[in-house]
Amino acid sequence: MPSPAAAPSAERIRHGTPAFRRTNLALFAAGFATFGLLYCVQPLMPEFSRDYAVSAATSALSLSLTTGVLAFAMLFAGALSDAWGRKSVMVASLLSSAVLVLVTALMPDWSALLLVRALLGLTLSGLPAVAMTYLSEEMHADSIGLGMGLYISGSAVGGMGGRLITGVLADFLGWRFGVGVVGLIGVLAGLIFWRALPPSRHFVAQPLHWRTVLGRFGGMFRDRGLPWLFAEGFLLLGAFVTVYNYLGYRLLAPPYNLSQATVGLIFGIYLVGTFSSAWMGHLAGRLGRRRVLWSAFALMLAGVALTLMHGLAPIMLGIVAVTFGFFGGHSIVSSWVGRRAGAARAQAASVYLFCYYMGSSLAGASGGLFYAAFGWNGVALFVGALVLAGLLIALRLFRLPPLVNVATPPTPMSRGAMP
């Protein structure tokens, strides 16, 4: 079996082919389910505060705890998929996660709910990092930007759908019913993924030699670009999740006094991510990632500034700008990591997503302290600082030399030998 590096580019999946359409159907379903299952609790945080008598910052643990466990677990998910295969790890991850979300709807107290949400972070870890690796291995170089963008589009629709379903149904049938519906949709999406995803053609199984794995982790931090890309993942999701975590608290309170169902509908803004992730990913593939990434952060920064206004219309416009910039930026950075990491792509994807979800966990929870102390102005100041840091890093990456693969220690596997 040829190694990924040695496989002829003509054999890889290109846009416009049946294999590309099947791959994107499968990964769209996977992204939809993964992020619907993960984020379905976000609009319910005010409900949790009322039902369980917890603060906004404590309620945010229903998401932050999941993403924190997810971040650490993904450090190992890539190595496991090296040994067990990409598709098998992703299928097991998706279906077990859907079952756990169904169980969440039955939890009687706050501690039990947090326990199940922590386990969800563990099971979900087998999909995001491995999906990035699968695309990096199987997609042609001129199609990976579009392929990653379409996968992230599914993530956007899933993130929107999970939030929208629970946010609206909580008003009419209770939050437990809404969470149960999201779990059932996750099971269906997992079955679609299982049937539609083409088998790996460029995957070479590698035994779990932890010394080699750790060597590849070290090699990534000697690269001039990858550590900065990891930092961008932390800042992107940290800023984005913080905005959406506390938006509901602001809009449910005076002077807006919106209903829970109306606040849930606001998550429909996620639809702009289905366009921006694919469009900016494709644009970056044509013009260069270095030339496009900074614009995503600039747009997010303008959006955060708009949310400081008091009118509902400019606030919504600001949320649209933050959402558009986030999904576009994530599409660019995640595909850039896969292309730059070379033979260490599985480990690079794991580290990138570790930083990405730690941003959600740490910044998402910290935002609650700013909200408690200073209201929305404190949240906007905190998020603005994160986005500004991301913009400065993007400008640094603009001066990054052209792609040079990460140097990794020569091993039988990196030379394409069978295990």
303-329 pLDDT tens trace: 999 999 999 999 999 999 999 999 889
187-235 pLDDT tens trace: 999 999 998 888 777 666 566 665 666 666 666 667 777 899 999 999 9
333 pLDDT above the threshold of 70: yes
pLDDT number for residue 402 = 59
Looking at residue 186, its amino acid is G
What residue ranges do the domains of the chain occupy? 17-202+217-398
Q: 259 is written with which tokens?
A: 């209903």
280-301 pLDDT tens trace: 877 776 777 778 899 999 999 9
CA neighbor of 150 nearest in space, from 317, 349, 292, 15: 15
Task: Please compute the mean of the pLDDT values over residues 333-337 and round it to a whole number.
Answer: 84
Read off the pTM. 0.69
CA neighbor of 78 nearest in space, from 359, 413, 358, 351: 351
19-63 pLDDT tens trace: 788 887 888 888 888 888 998 998 888 889 888 888 888 898 998
Q: Provide the pLDDT confidence category of residue 3 given band limits of 50, 70 and 90.
A: very low
Say which CATH topology domain 17-202+217-398 has.
Growth Hormone; Chain: A; (1.20.1250)
Q: 57 is written with which tokens?
A: 């910052």
pLDDT over 90 for what percent of the chain? Answer: 31
SS (H, E, C) the chain: CCCCCCCCHHHCECCCCHHHHHHHHHHHHHHHHHHHHHHCCHHHHHHHHHHHCCCHHHHCHHHHHHHHHHHHHHHHHHHHHHHHCHHHHHHHHHHHHHHHHHHHCCCCCHHHHHHHHHHHHHHHCCCHHHHHHHHHHHECCCCHHHHHHHHHHHHHHHHHHHHHHHHHHHHHCCHHHHHHHHHHHHHHHHHHHHHHCCCCCCCCCCCCCHHHHHHHHHHHCCCCCHHHHHHHHHHHHHHHHHHHHHHHHHHHCCCCCCCHHHHHHHHHHHHHHHHHHHHHHHHHHHHCHHHHHHHHHHHHHHHHHHCCCCCHHHHHHHHHHHHHHHHHHHHHHHHHHHHHCHHHHHHHHHHHHHHHHHHHHHHHHHHHHHHHHHHHHHHHHHHHHHHHHHHHHHHHHHCCCCCCCCCCCCCCCCCCCCC
Find the angle CA(408)-CA(411)-CA(416) to the nearest 5 degrees: 105
Sign of CA pseudo-dihedral 396, 349, 234, 271 = positive
Residues linked to residue 139 through DSSP beta bridges, in sequence order: 13
133-147, 244-258, 397-411 — most confident range? 244-258
CA neighbor of 334 nearest in space, from 144, 156, 84: 144
pLDDT number for residue 405 = 44
